[in-house]
Amino acid sequence: MIGAIIGDTVGSRFEFDNIHTKEFEFLTPECEPTDDSIMTIAVADAIIEWDKTGRENYEVLSDYTVKAMRSWGLAYPNAGYGGHFFWWLRDESMGPYNSCGNGAAMRISPVGWAARDLEECKQMSFAVTAVTHNHPDGIMGAEATAVQIFLARQGYSKEELKQYEEENYYTLHLDMPWYREHYQWESLCNGTCQPAFQCLYDSKDFEDSIRNCISIGGDCDTTAAICGAVSQAVYGIPKELESQIRSYLDEDQLAIVDSFNERFILPCGRC
Ligand SMILES: [Mg+2]
């Protein structure tokens, strides 16, 4: 999950000021965690609580997710939420609203780390996602992201992940040069996940995958959050980068990150 937070934070200063290059300072004082990070932390918080119950009931996971997302969202109300989602955060009477936005995938990474098998990964992904993004494309984007994290933990290579995605979720035939020339702003799940995954498949290490995301422009904090989430599971996170990102997080956020890592992620960062 820290991979998603790094991607989001690096991308934050380019979301509305796209650059089409991989040459830039990675983390600067202008960077900040946005909605992608806050909601990732909320999902991690919900999963920790659900795990304590013995994981018996996916409806309980959904309930915890709703509670955590509203609580974290209202604690950080200026993180850059989409209009509809912000409405949902404040109106407790509001249920799922058929969203197919990329918010479904940007927040899902804790599922891929906490799941114990592939079926549980898919069920957890659905339980977390359907509380707001219950459109089939939202459900698919979240699952496509979470499943890759789970499979990377089992040792799948980038090539095997891509093959799995193509067989089960998306057509992934566009390469980096195409995206750099043609990619436009996209807030829907399908159009964000496809380039986010390609940025990973065409990368040589964790940082390079995030640089790929920034270089294609668009909603790049979210593209980088989705890519970074899977990239962590493939490459691990460089120690220096992990300690650097901690300085961007508040104490209450770090408490969830640490608690989640202790519970579900071994010290190597990708097991
Ligand atoms: Mg954002």
Sole residue written with tokens 């940082």: 207
* 34 alpha carbon – ligand 1 mean position (Å): 5
Task: Please report the pLDDT score of residue 271 as a whole number.
Answer: 45
What average pLDDT does the segment 237-247 reach?
96
* 129 alpha carbon – ligand 1 mean position (Å): 17
What average pLDDT does the segment 138-167 reach?
97
For 196-237, the pLDDT digits (tens) are 999 999 999 999 999 999 999 999 999 999 999 999 999 999
What average pLDDT does the segment 50-59 reach?
94
- Token pair recorded at residue 62: 């959904």
Q: Which pLDDT band holds residue 25 (cuts at 50, 70, 90)?
A: very high
* 222 alpha carbon – ligand 1 mean position (Å): 6
Q: Which residue from 255, 245, 216, 247 is spatially nearest to 5, judged by alpha carbons?
A: 245
* 163 alpha carbon – ligand 1 mean position (Å): 29
* 80 alpha carbon – ligand 1 mean position (Å): 6
* 8 alpha carbon – ligand 1 mean position (Å): 6
Task: Please report the pLDDT score of residue 148 as a whole number.
Answer: 98
Please list, in sequence order, all residues whose beta carbon lies within 8 angstroms of the beta carbon of residue 216, skipping any fewer than 6 positions away. 20, 176, 179, 180, 183, 195, 199, 223
Q: Is residue 183's pLDDT more than 70? A: yes
Mean pLDDT for all residues in the chain: 95
What average pLDDT does the segment 4-12 reach?
98
Q: Is residue 31's pLDDT more than 60? A: yes
Whether residue 85 contacts residue 132, with contact meaning beta carbons closer than 8 Å, is answered with: yes
Q: Which pLDDT band holds residue 104 (cuts at 50, 70, 90)?
A: very high
* 53 alpha carbon – ligand 1 mean position (Å): 31
Work out the percent of the chain whose per-residue pLDDT is above 90.
94
Beta-bridge partner residues of 188? 101
Task: Please report the pLDDT score of residue 248 as a whole number.
Answer: 98
What average pLDDT does the segment 22-44 reach?
97
Task: Please report the pLDDT score of residue 126 as a whole number.
Answer: 98
- Within 10 angstroms of residue 182's Cβ, the number of other Cβ atoms is 9
Q: Is residue 16's pLDDT more than 90? A: no
In order of their start, the domains of the chain are 2-19+31-264 (1.10.4080.10)
Please list, in sequence order, all residues whose beta carbon lies within 8 angstroms of the beta carbon of residue 155, skipping any fewer than 6 positions away. none
* 82 alpha carbon – ligand 1 mean position (Å): 9
Task: Please report the pLDDT score of residue 170 as a whole number.
Answer: 96
* 221 alpha carbon – ligand 1 mean position (Å): 5
- Distance of CA 228 to CAs 17, 94, 246, 265, Å? 20, 31, 16, 16
Q: Is residue 193's pLDDT more than 90? A: yes
Whether residue 108 contacts residue 43, with contact meaning beta carbons closer than 8 Å, is answered with: yes
* 37 alpha carbon – ligand 1 mean position (Å): 8
Kindly report the backbone phi and psi dihedral angles of residue 161, in degrees, each rounded to the nearest multiple of 5, phi listed first.
-65, -45
- How many degrees, rounded to 5, is the angle at CA 119 between CA 118 and CA 120? 90
Task: Give per-residue burial for 81-119: e unless 16+ CB within 10 Å, then b.
Answer: beeebbebbeeeeeebeebbbbbbbbbbbbbbbbbeeee
Task: Please report the pLDDT score of residue 163 as a whole number.
Answer: 97
* 15 alpha carbon – ligand 1 mean position (Å): 8
In whole angstroms, what is the distance from residue 9 CA to residue 245 CA?
8
What average pLDDT does the segment 12-36 reach?
95
Rounded to two decimals, the pTM is 0.96
* 56 alpha carbon – ligand 1 mean position (Å): 32
Task: Please report the pLDDT score of residue 266 as a whole number.
Answer: 65
- How many degrees, rounded to 5, is the angle at CA 141 between CA 135 and CA 74? 75
Task: Please report the pLDDT score of residue 265 as a whole number.
Answer: 83
Whether residue 85 contacts residue 103, with contact meaning beta carbons closer than 8 Å, is answered with: yes
* 57 alpha carbon – ligand 1 mean position (Å): 31
* 39 alpha carbon – ligand 1 mean position (Å): 10
Sole residue written with tokens 């999950």: 1
Residue type (1 letter), 248 = Y
Pick the most confident of 103-117, 180-194, 256-270: 103-117
In whole angstroms, what is the distance from residue 262 CA to residue 247 CA?
19
